[in-house]
Amino acid sequence: MSAFKDSQEKQYVRENLWINGILSFLGNSGVNQPRYLCMPGSRAIFEKQLIEMGKASRDNIVACEIDNTIASDIVVALPGCKIIRGNIDRLLGGPKDRLSSPEQRTQEKLFSLFPFDIINLDYEGEAMPLDHNNLSYRIRVWQKIIERQYPTRPFLFFLNTLGQPNRGLKEEHSRIIRDYIIKDIADHFKKKIINDMWKKVESLGGKQLSYKYSRICLYAVPMKIIFLGFPKFKVSLLTAPYTYVGRTGGNKSRMICFAFRFDTYPEELSAGVKRDKDKYANLEQAIDLIEKTVEVYSEEDDYILGKYNLKTNSNWWETS
């Protein structure tokens, strides 16, 4: 079972980032019962909330879970939903020839359930873990999701992830991710945007490498997802990201939460200049929103100074 505990901060993110994003999306898209892919956890707190609000139905929910005990708990919490038992990163991003026969069958089942209106990847792990080639396999997951979605169907994509490496903190890890993103994206976006962005990362780096890494993730994740989505979709951050401190056992870990909207293009619109302009504009908008990242905190977590009442702080990375 997951060691992460639920918290006021996490519920604030659900209410203000996820719920508000879903209500806005459903109101604009005309979708009444969204098809929903998620990693709900044993109690499926958020999914049950959506059902109670009439914004989701169990038979349209697909839940992925590798742990058999948690999967059984999800069956009890969400009777009637579809359960995909397996590692979602391997199923979505793993090359077929590297999967076992049962995994291949599960992958085919998962792929057959696409497309979705809402995808919510609520990870306990880091945003961009590196494989033995120093490439992030999770980027392949995002790419596969986008490939499987229909270009005529808009969707929401929520990503909740650790803002620090979970297997030791190394300067090299941050440098590799930074260099990887620059190499992969810099030639496609305006160089000035890239240079200005990394200057801000360095200047706000703080004394602890964990803070520096969290800032790199704050920039790198939206950059990569926006880049992967174009020209098939017009991709944008819905709002400024949220961050809070998650608790697991006696340890505390910074979590970062993103919400993206993937909009479709009219068929008559070419994939040329207009889409490139949108890409540049949405990247600049994302950077502006990232600089307004909101921290949710309370004093019951002594890792951060604050008050017992839940507070938000948009200057956390300048003062930490």
Query: pLDDT of 74-120, one tens digit each?
Result: 999 999 999 999 999 889 886 666 888 999 999 999 999 999 999 99
- Nearby residues of 226 by Cβ (< 8 Å), 6 or more positions away: 235, 236, 260, 279, 282, 283, 286
- pTM value is 0.85
Q: Six-digit token pair at 260?
A: 């993206």
Top pLDDT among 231 and 200 is at 231
Q: Return d(Cα 20, Cα 187) in angstroms, integer.
A: 35
Q: Return d(Cα 87, Cα 107) in angstroms, integer.
A: 10
Whether residue 171 is predicted with pLDDT greater than 80 in this model: the reply is: no
Top pLDDT among 21 and 295 is at 21
Q: What percent of the chain has pLDDT over 90?
A: 39
Q: Give the pLDDT score at 274.
A: 67
Angle between the N-to-C axes of helices 209-229 and 273-290, in degrees from 0 to 180, rounded to the nearest 10: 160
Top pLDDT among 44 and 273 is at 44
> Which alpha helices (DSSP H) does the chain contain, by range?
8-13, 20-29, 45-52, 68-77, 88-93, 101-112, 137-148, 171-185, 191-203, 209-229, 273-290, 316-319
Summary mean pLDDT of the chain:
79
Contact assessment for residue 181 and residue 226, using Cβ atoms and an 8 Å cutoff: no
Closest CA to 186 of 227, 133, 214: 227
Q: Return d(Cα 283, Cα 306) in angstroms, integer.
A: 32
Q: What single DSSP character describes residue 6? A: P
125-135 average pLDDT score: 68
Whether residue 267 is predicted with pLDDT greater than 70 in this model: the reply is: no
Q: Give the pLDDT score at 58.
A: 95
Q: Give the pLDDT score at 59.
A: 94
Top pLDDT among 175 and 7 is at 7
Q: Give the pLDDT score at 158.
A: 97
Q: Return d(Cα 218, Cα 239) in angstroms, integer.
A: 13
Distance in angstroms between the alpha carbons of the first and the last residue of the chain: 32
Q: Return d(Cα 46, Cα 82) in angstroms, integer.
A: 16
Residue 294 φ/ψ, nearest 5 degrees: -105, 130
- Report residue 47's pLDDT band, with 50, 70 and 90 as the boundaries: very high
- Report residue 211's pLDDT band, with 50, 70 and 90 as the boundaries: low
Closest CA to 213 of 243, 239, 247, 246: 243
Give the torsion sign (CA, 14, 19, 21, 22).
Answer: positive
Q: Return d(Cα 262, Cα 156) in angstroms, integer.
A: 6
Which of 19-33, 58-72, 135-149, 187-201 comes out lowest in average pLDDT?
187-201
Which of 42-46, 133-137, 164-168, 243-247 comes out lowest in average pLDDT?
164-168
Q: What Rg value do the Cα atoms of the chain yield, rounded?
A: 19
Q: Give the pLDDT score at 314.
A: 54
Q: Return d(Cα 168, Cα 67) in angstroms, integer.
A: 24
- Report residue 283's pLDDT band, with 50, 70 and 90 as the boundaries: confident
Top pLDDT among 82 and 223 is at 82
160-178 average pLDDT score: 65
137-145 average pLDDT score: 88
Residue 172 DSSP SS3:
helix
Q: Give the pLDDT score at 205.
A: 45
- Report residue 290's pLDDT band, with 50, 70 and 90 as the boundaries: confident
Top pLDDT among 207 and 218 is at 218
